[in-house]
Structure 1
């Protein structure tokens, strides 16, 4: 069976924005919003994507922070306590 062509999530030009930001990070000149130095590669990629979004390029929306609305109940563990019984009769 022939595979279906996947739709591009990111535009090629947004990729170039990210690439330029990663280059700046490697060079040591990349700065974050308040002027602090970018310390990680992931941070540099995020800044590149953010700049691409501001320019209006095709980039998926930010992953929204999910509130802990669905609180998972703690699963009841059937832990058997191994209590040592002292024999009263010796």
Structure 2
């Protein structure tokens, strides 16, 4: 899950009319920071970029699927995009629990 600050930076870029790749750059930057801090292990910069772009798609940045990716990668990118565009209906059970608490 991307940090709130990263999402806000990307949204600001969108408001300023910057391209989707610039918006996605915020997510890639965050991923690079994670690697430098030793938080988790993308083995290469290329892998970190891929993870960042995937997070950007899930956050709603309008990025196309990669042109030179495998069928599986393209399918995953399309799934990420769909996931970002759809809003989940709140759980009835959890909503009721919150009201009663």
TM-score by length of 2: 0.44
Q: Which structure shows the higher helix fraction?
A: 2
Query: Greater relative contact order: 1 or 2 (C-alpha under 8 angstroms, separation 6 or more)?
Result: 1
**Which one has a bigger Cα radius of gyration?**
1
